[in-house]
Amino acid sequence: MQVDLTTLVVEEYEPAIDFFTQALGFDLVEDSPSSTNDGRPKRWVVVRPPGAETGILLARADGERQRAVIGNQVAGRVGFFLRVADFDAAYDRMTAAGVEFATAPRTEPYGRVAVFLDIAGNRWDLLGPA
């Protein structure tokens, strides 16, 4: 058993795809036409870190209720965690790509960590070995 996907609500597909594939280095696993239950067009867009099993379904907000959670899907908490083997290299690459960090890197008992914001403003931990 495993968690296959988690959903991230975004404003638009293309900027989100660009952020995850270019700034974070994720793979675009799938980008297929789909439709809502009532037949309106949408896309099935999945990104995933290289070598990872769990991916993120990028879901364009559909309606005011969904737009209201963009950037605040977990009520301002860090809700997503990206573990990397080389913290400094990942941090430098992400900073050069324009990723906004909300905290400076620090060392905790569980490793190196810095909080960054995704394209929508959700908070993530970048995690590396201590």
CATH class of the 5-128 domain in this structure: alpha beta
Nearest to 117 by CA among 57, 69, 77: 77
The stretch 17-30 carries a mean pLDDT of: 97
The pLDDT confidence band at residue 39, using thresholds 50, 70 and 90, is confident
The per-residue pLDDT for 103 is 98
Where do the structural domains in the chain lie, given as residue ranges?
5-128
- Per-residue pLDDT at 36 exceeds 80: no
The stretch 59-65 carries a mean pLDDT of: 95
pTM value? 0.92
Whether residue 121 contacts residue 8, with contact meaning beta carbons closer than 8 Å, is answered with no
| CA of residue 43 relative to chain centroid, distance | 17
